[in-house]
Structure 1
């Protein structure tokens, strides 16, 4: 006698959060695919200015395609919007979605200016809506284990945090790879910055999460090897955290050979030290060693965890771990580094009125 097996979701369709994904480039496709397969979510709509791309993605993932965010926001089944468009569109599109009563999960940077980021946060608070920022590395096991170790005092008093990002982004294959890239990448007005604002911002978010708020910073930025862009391709900064510990940031997209790219975060305490190398953690203590291997993590896996948590927080009414107020912190520090480099002086945080227009 045969058996019929029925597979049912633990979450009913009525309980699933209806999402629209705006912007279907590489990272937008990741978000759309993740959301379409998550138990907590339902992919209702996909939006892209390229009609064929929106239609193909909609057919493949079972979502309604749109060519404008305006039309997608009129769909009553859309409760939350993922903004994955070029950086200069993040703030206006996030504001527009919030004003239509939608929760927003916005890619980094949440805005190209600090003033814009603050405006989004105020709007979300006024509308009583969830505003999340895509800092998916907060969901990295190596980072969470290090955060837990610091919270439990395993390393003792921390006195130094170092961050290095040594990547490669070529002019022809990245900044000028196609007409769309040429229209916004590498310009202050549309990208808001260079290696710090685009590539190193995840690493900066992590050191702020691990080390706390910053009191002051001194930084120098430069464009060494990318003559076709306005923004920096190399930057260094020294920071003092409010808790008294020191920090150092070094970032570039000029690393050659390209096979030697890496990201490292080192935390030094009175009882030991730890290092996150790309996605893995090693921690050395007087009484032993702790290792977390992240080498098998696939691209998009952390985005998936973040989206699932965002949807769950909407349904539970809980605070999302990477709310807009957290997204502001990295932007403020980056803008302070730019100010320091421009003025040739130490800059104190928080940035005051007039400095937040950067």
Structure 2
């Protein structure tokens, strides 16, 4: 049995991860810690486990095998490093950290300690991503030229039920989040495009504030890849009814994914009409399942440190692009 502590209910996915952990028979939630004492105590009562106010006490507890981290993003570096130093396996919400330098520090400590680290990038296990990867690998699209991906919702839009929107207001606190829509929701288009297109080379972004001055609640990033592919990546907290869209274009074909509908056209196929494939690959285990399998069985996770690094690289470049109002060569950030 893997005994875990939940570290903070700050992120909106904290409850989701707690539920996932409860559904895995090899995992037992033992403790809750939160930087907000009242929130932590209430969550502990909800889950029927103890609340511990001191993080060091949690991490030094020999009965705790791992931690699930959903703290403010700016706290990731310190908490993950301390967890690794105490020999705790780590499952963390995106993003790993705000800079490549911080990611390198984290990964160095994780490697030194020998613990399992998993960052939650759930769309990399979905059938539509796996099919897109298959289409590229099989050459059905010819030479890949462009990827467009959009993930958006209306979490920042006021309604009668939620006068300030349904996202918690602390999601707009720059000093805690490190950014707005792009760094959080925009992570999904970024890591999907990174996987399909390769190594990001440069980024140009527009981070726009609609309702929350000083932080983006919608954004667009143009990412250039070493492969020559151009990524057009969009996200928003202010779009009602916006479907998930992943579009993959090549010299010999086009793949369009909208919500659960997948269609493709290729000159390599017998028909010149759109096909709607029914034989999508089986989804891979969810990130938390992969984390548990890695701890117990030595399973090699399909979500890797390279995914985490490239995600942070694009996010860091995006912030710099907005600040300087120019295209950012990402190789400069690695130096």
TM range (shorter): 0.7 to 0.9
1:317 aligns with 2:301: no
Give the equivalent residue in structure 1 for 2:236: 252
- Contact (CA 8 Å) 1:87, 1:109: kept in 2 or not? yes
SS of match in other structure, 1:262: coil
Distance 1:114 1:64, change over 3 A: same
Distance 1:113 1:216, change over 3 A: closer
Distance 1:172 1:70, change over 3 A: farther
RMSD value, Cα: 2.9
User: Match for 1:107 among 85, 89, 93?
Assistant: 93
Give the equivalent residue in structure 1 for 2:7: 22
Q: Distance in 1 between matches of 2:318 and 2:144?
A: 23
Measure how far apart 1:137 and its partner are.
1.1
Give the equivalent residue in structure 1 for 2:136: 150
Q: Distance in 2 between matches of 1:156 and 1:41?
A: 44
* Count of residue pairs brought into register by the alignment: 322
- Contact (CA 8 Å) 2:100, 2:309: kept in 1 or not? yes
1:243 aligns with 2:227: yes
Q: Distance in 1 between matches of 2:187 and 2:83?
A: 24
- Contact (CA 8 Å) 2:100, 2:334: kept in 1 or not? no
- Contact (CA 8 Å) 1:81, 1:102: kept in 2 or not? yes
1:117 aligns with 2:83: no
Q: Distance in 2 between matches of 1:188 and 1:278?
A: 31
1:326 aligns with 2:312: no
Q: How does 1:225-304 map to 2 (within 5 A)?
A: 225-226=210-211, 228-255=212-239, 258=240, 260-285=241-266, 286-287=269-270, 289-291=275-277
Give the equivalent residue in structure 2 for 1:3: none
- Contact (CA 8 Å) 2:144, 2:250: kept in 1 or not? yes
Distance 1:55 1:341, change over 3 A: closer
Give the equivalent residue in structure 2 for 1:8: none
Give the equivalent residue in structure 2 for 1:54: 43
Measure how far apart 1:280 and its partner are.
4.4
TM-score normalised by the chain length of structure 1: 0.80
TM-score normalised by the chain length of structure 2: 0.85
